[in-house]
Amino acid sequence: MDKEAGRILKAAVVAIAAAALILITLILPAEFDFDPLGTGQALGILGLSGSAPKTVSQQDTNYQEDAIQFILQPYESVEYKYRLKKDSSLIFSWKASGAVTFELHGEPDGGPEGFAESFSIGKRDYGNGTFTAPFSGIHGWFWENRGTDAVTIDLTTAGFYSAALKFRDGFVDEKSLDNSTQAN
Amino acid sequence: MIAAYRCGLYLSKHPRAWMVAGMLLALPVICSAHNISADNARFVEGIDGPAIAPFMYLGAKHMVTGYDHLLFLLGVIFFLYRARDILLFVTLFTLGHSITLMTGVLLEVNVNAYLIDAIIGMSVVYKAFENIDGFRQVFAIQFNAKVAVFIFGLFHGLGLATKLQEFALSSEGLVTNIVSFNIGVELGQAIALAFILLVLLQWRQRESFQNHAFVTNTFLMTAGFVLTGYQLAGYMWV
What are the start-end ranges of the E strands in chain A? 64-72, 77-84, 89-108, 117-132, 137-144, 151-159, 163-168, 171-176
Q: d(Cα B83, Cα B77) in Å, to the nearest integer?
A: 10
Chain A residue whose CA is closest to B238? A52
The predicted structure's pLDDT at residue B15: 47
The alpha carbon of residue A23 is apart from the nearest alpha carbon of chain B, in Å, by: 6
The predicted structure's pLDDT at residue B29: 39
3-state secondary structure B11-49: HHHCCCHHHHHHHHHHHHHHHHHCCCHHHHHHHHHCCCC
The sign of the CA dihedral B207, A7, B196, B18 is: negative
Max Cα-Cα span within chain A: 89
Q: d(Cα A41, Cα A33) in Å, to the nearest integer?
A: 10
Q: Which of A10, A23, A31, A55 to mutate to test the interface with B (most CBs of B within 10 A)?
A: A23
The alpha carbon of residue A55 is apart from the nearest alpha carbon of chain B, in Å, by: 11
| pLDDT tens per residue across all 238 residues of chain B | 455 555 455 545 554 444 444 444 443 333 333 334 666 766 776 667 778 888 899 899 989 888 899 999 999 999 999 999 999 999 999 999 999 999 999 998 888 999 999 999 999 999 999 999 999 889 998 899 999 999 999 999 999 998 888 776 777 788 898 999 999 999 999 999 999 999 999 999 988 888 899 999 999 999 999 999 999 998 988 7
- A 46-75 residues with CB below 8 A of B? 51-53
Q: Which of B138, B225, B234 sits opposite A9 (nearest CB)?
A: B138
Q: d(Cα A50, Cα A36) in Å, to the nearest integer?
A: 17
Give residue B181's Cα distance to chain centre. 14
Q: What are phi and psi of A59, to 5 degrees?
A: -120, 140
DSSP letter at B133? T
The predicted structure's pLDDT at residue B45: 65
CB A91 within 8 A of CB A159: yes
The torsion of the CA quartet B150, B152, B158, B163, rounded to 10 degrees, works out to -120
Are A23 and B238 inside 8 Å of each other by CB? no
For residue A176, give the nearest of A159, A164, A161 by alpha carbon.
A164
Would you kindly state where each structural domain of chain A is located, as residue ranges? Answer: 3-43, 64-176
Chain A residue whose CA is closest to B137? A5
Q: Classify A162 as helix, strand or coil.
A: coil
Are A12 and B237 inside 8 Å of each other by CB? no
Would you kindly state where each structural domain of chain B is located, as residue ranges? Answer: 2-237
Are B222 and A19 inside 8 Å of each other by CB? yes
End-to-end Cα, chain B, rounded Å = 38
DSSP letter at A135? S
Out of 1.20.120.1810, 2.60.120.680, 3.30.1330.200, 3.40.50.300, select the CATH number for domain A64-176: 2.60.120.680
The predicted structure's pLDDT at residue B6: 54
Q: d(Cα A143, Cα A68) in Å, to the nearest integer?
A: 13
The predicted structure's pLDDT at residue A87: 87
The partner residues of A71 in beta bridges, in order of sequence, read A152
Chain B interface residues (partner A, CB cutoff 8 A): 125, 128-129, 132-134, 137-138, 214, 217-219, 221-226, 228-230, 233-234, 237-238
Low-confidence ranges of chain A (pLDDT < 70): 1, 50-55, 178-184
The alpha carbon of residue B214 is apart from the nearest alpha carbon of chain A, in Å, by: 9
Are A15 and B221 inside 8 Å of each other by CB? yes
**Helices B113-131 and A3-22: angle between axes, nearest 10 degrees:** 150
Q: Which of B132, B225, B237 sits opposite A52 (nearest CB)?
A: B237
Q: d(Cα A8, Cα B154) in Å, to the nearest integer?
A: 28
Are A19 and B229 inside 8 Å of each other by CB? yes
For residue B123, give the nearest of B141, B102, B143 by alpha carbon.
B143
